Every structure is written in C-alpha cells, then in structure tokens.
Structure 1
C-alpha cells in the first residue's frame, strides 16, 4: 500500500523531526486515521522525499521522526509558461492544477494590454499547486512568479527557446515542429482577445518565435494546458 504524502514547506534535508501544521495534522490524523508508529512521506516541494514515522498523533500538531531523505533528480529541461490570467478565476485555477499535474516547472502570470485586472491571490494559488503536486505524486513544486508586465518579460533572456502563441493570420510553425527537445523553453499565452499586434511585434523583435497550437481557437486556459502537454511530450524521449 502506498504511503500518503504530505507537504512540508521549507523542511530542511538535514532535519530529524517535523511538526505538521494544523490543517495537515487534522487531515493526517482525523481524515486518514494515521496513528503513532505508522509511516508517512513528506515533500518540501524542492525535490526531497522524506520517509517518516509518526511519533505524536495529535490532530493539531502531528509530529514525525524523519527516517530517510532522498533527493530526486530535478526535471530537465526547464519548461515555463507565461500566461495572461482571465477574469474567470476558476478557469485559471483549473489551469494551474492541470499544468502542475502534467509537470510544468514554472508559471508566470502575464500582464498584457488586454489582461483583466484582478487581484492576485498568491496564497490561494499556491495551495492549488501544492494539492496538485501531492495528488500527482511529484516532489518538485512549480515556481509561481509574481505577475510581470509583458513589456518587461519579453526583454529578459529567460530561456534558450522562446515562443509566442498568437491568433493573427500569419504563417506560423506548429509548436511541435518549432520546439527542440532538451532546451529550456518559455512560451507566452495571451489573454481573451489575444495579444495586441503591437505586443506581438515587440515579442518578435526581441527574438520570440511565433507558433501555433492547432487549427482551432482555444480559450486561454485551454491553450495553456495544450501547451503543457505538447512541451512535455516533445521532451518525453
């Protein structure tokens, strides 16, 4: 039977003991009915996998003794998506969940001319990433950057390969044809209504390559998930 995995933010690989926070303790002890002497796994989101034994099954402060720490290989290459969040919060939360499960390493909220100005609830979004990481049995938490302006991001040499997916009717290669495996990659996904022509021109001027994600018009969050799948599949072998 597989051991349950719990998130232990900031847990040091050299630690010998750990006390879970109250929500995690409650889930471990009350929901999963774990007791003193039983083993669990901990993940700090930085690649460490801790095997531990429960020493105090307190439902508010469950304490464990760490028996072993294993550092798992970091995902390579680094695949990141910069995406313009939409006004529909639930759709973007869905995207974050699926992107994490698929295995993307970095997500950048992109502020474009047509981006809906919504409050960025960092704590809520990070909790979605954590839950998706644990559910998919991964040990690296995707990086969630602070929102960044389009004009700023395109000027940064953030990856070996840089692409912009847009809907203007110009000749573009499909991402599967344009992207080379084994290289750090950044892909830009636009808001509802797409990037403006001026933004596309600026990105191309900074060395971004225009790409297509297919023949159909996709919603922003759908385009993000399609891109995650394509980027991972290109690097699967």
Structure 2
C-alpha cells in the first residue's frame, strides 16, 4: 500500500502528494492508501476525492507505532557540496534516525543551509522506507550553541587526535541508550571545539581505520548505532 505524509489533522493529502497519488500512481476513488503524520500514527484510508490538487481521503483505522527503545542524534557540519549532506539525510532516514542537527564550525566551508529542501528529502525517505516517524531536523547553529542543546546520555565526537587512539564507536557505545555523535566539517574540528566538546562530556571515538568524508562518517555512525541495537 502506498504511504503518504500529512502532518495536519485534515482529510486530504498535501498538494504534492495529491498530484503524486492521482497523476503518477493513477489512484482513484475507493482505492486504499496509508497516511502517516510523522509522529508514529499510521492511518489506513480510502480515497474519497481523486483531485490532483486536493486528494480527499477517509480514515478507516489508525495504528500507532511504538518509538524505538533507543534514539540516535547525529550533529553534522554541512558540506561545501550540499549534495553530499542531502545524500546523508536520505540514507540516514532510511536506516533509522531520530534527530539530525546541523552546525557551523570554525573550519566549515559552508555557512548557509536551507532546511526546506532537506525536509523534503527526509519526508521522501520516510515514505519510501515505510516509516511512521519523521526525524527532527534542526536549523544550523554555531558549535557553541549546539552543545547547549545536548542532553543525550551517551555523547561522542568522531575525532582522531595525534597523541592517542580513541576507542571505536561500536565498542564503547552500549545498547538502548540515547546517543549523540558530533561529525566535523571537511576541515575537521578546531582545537577549541574539541576542548568544548570534552568539557561538555563528549568522548572521542573512531569510526574505523580509514579517513572518511563528512557525510560518510555521519552515515557510518548512524549505521553502527543501529546495528548495536538490532
């Protein structure tokens, strides 16, 4: 069954979903669809009005999907090439993630991030992977402001200092916790930012023996934490 996203308590699909349902999928009156509000509620419904601008539906049954017994938050500096960060968002949502936060570090090459397109990508990935929860997406803020928003149990920063060998994330994280992982920009974290993170309770971790691009590191962290909780 086709899954659509409607965050508001109304009986019609959004304009984009209405067009997709009627024009692309050629669904008509009486056809069954599934609709999620992005907060865990999934409605089984039937189309009552096959309008490509305002496709109406009637809810037959509602089921609530329980939230996961753990949560993953990835905080990442947007890449210079925005396509890379968009790729990360799409894949992370498909794999499973509760929150994505963006920040601008001292070495960030990108200083502007438009969240509207990121949200559309996340919504499409949620629907494609048949999930009922849309991750929280945070506007980009400074690194210092980001740290003030962190209240997660297990805090990690992916960084390889010159004078020590951090433990691999997969070995130090424990199951069924609330995780937050900091992933730096192409120019890495500054020394001041490392000190701020450590003072805020973050542990330095490695994601493997290879040097990873920003978006690859962010997705790897997301995957490792999901595998830990399988």
Given the two structures, how large is their TM-score scaled by the length of structure 2?
0.96
Q: CA contact under 8 A between 1:5 and 1:40: conserved in structure 2? A: yes
Q: How big is each residue's C-alpha offset from its partner over 1:173-226, in whole Å with a ceiling of 9 and x where there is no partner?
A: 000111011111111000002111221122112211000001110000000111
Q: Which residue of 1 aligns with 2:129?
A: 136
Aligned equivalents of 2:189, 2:72: Cα separation in 1: 21
Q: How big is each residue's C-alpha offset from its partner over 1:45-65, in whole Å with a ceiling of 9 and x where there is no partner?
A: 110000111111112111001
Structure 2: where are the runs of 5+ without partners? Answer: none
Aligned equivalents of 2:103, 2:69: Cα separation in 1: 23
Secondary structure at the aligned position of 2:218 is classed as: helix
Aligned equivalents of 1:59, 1:173: Cα separation in 2: 53
> Residues 153 and 119 from structure 1, CA distance in 2 versus in 1: closer, same or farther, beyond 3 angstroms?
closer
Aligned residues: 229
Q: How big is each residue's C-alpha offset from its partner over 1:122-168, in whole Å with a ceiling of 9 and x where there is no partner?
A: 21110000000001110100110121221223344420110100132
> Per-residue deviation at 1:28?
0.2
Q: Which residue of 1 aligns with 2:21?
A: 28
Structure 1: where are the runs of 5+ without partners? Answer: 12-16
Do structure 1's residue 167 and structure 2's residue 160 form an aligned pair?
yes
Q: Which residue of 1 aligns with 2:94?
A: 101
Runs (4+) off by over 6 Å: none
Q: Matches of residues 149-188 of structure 1 in structure 2 within 5 Å?
A: 149-169=142-162, 170-188=164-182
Q: How big is each residue's C-alpha offset from its partner over 1:55-92, in whole Å with a ceiling of 9 and x where there is no partner?
A: 11112111001111111101221110100111101001
Given the two structures, how large is their TM-score scaled by the length of structure 1?
0.93
Alpha-carbon RMSD across the aligned residues, in angstroms, is 1.3
> Residues 10 and 94 from structure 1, CA distance in 2 versus in 1: closer, same or farther, beyond 3 angstroms?
same
